[in-house]
Amino acid sequence: MGAGVSQRSGGSGRRGRKRRTGRSHAMSEINVTPMVDVMLVLLIIFMVAAPLLTVGVPVQLPKTAATALPTEKEEPLTITLTADGRIMIQKTEVSQDELIPKLRAIAAERTDKKLYLRADGAIPYARVAQVMGALNASGFNDIGLVTDNNGPTFGGSGG
């Protein structure tokens, strides 16, 4: 009986695979992980920075049941009376003697004569009335008192 060696014909057995020629192909997929990382960092930055964008001098405003006023086209002029008795125009401190001349100069440049008065709740009413008189003498007749929302009402329900 004869013994024979059988050989496979037809190649190396790697059918259907392409050979690497040493050239790299361009990657056609977008890696979104870096973009998501950047967006999360920007979100955190905006969340931290947003509360710092409030304008004004910190005062403890009294709480009332009044509703908020509609927004204006021009940046509103704000006068602040702090608990320690200082007077501020926007964020700049002025003395009592300088208040009327500075406000008259500001009134000459502005088209809107609306003014907001922010007074700390610890300030006596007489002092607020004196400052309101000075504001009126300066040419500002439309004065809005700034308060916090959700305060007590006269109907007996609290905020």
* Residue at 114 is within a domain: yes
- Is the predicted pLDDT of residue 40 greater than 90, yes or no? yes
Please state whether the predicted TM-score (pTM) of the whole model is above 0.75.
no
Residue 16: pLDDT band with limits 50, 70, 90: low
Residue 89: which CATH number? Answer: 3.30.420.270
Do residues 142 and 115 lie in contact, with contact meaning Cβ atoms separated by under 8 Å?
Answer: yes
Strand order in the sheet with 142-145: 92-94, 87-89, 77-81, 114-119, 142-145
| Average pLDDT of the residues in 105-116 | 84
* Residue at 123 is within a domain: yes
Residue 115: name the closest of 103, 99, 127 by CA. 103
- Domain holding 127, by residue range, is 56-159
* Residue at 15 is within a domain: no
Residue with tokens 């086209």, as numbered in its chain = 73
Number of domains in the chain: 1
How high does pLDDT run on average in the chain? 79
* Residue at 88 is within a domain: yes
Residue 38: pLDDT band with limits 50, 70, 90: very high
pLDDT at 51: 76
- Is the predicted pLDDT of residue 13 greater than 70, yes or no? no
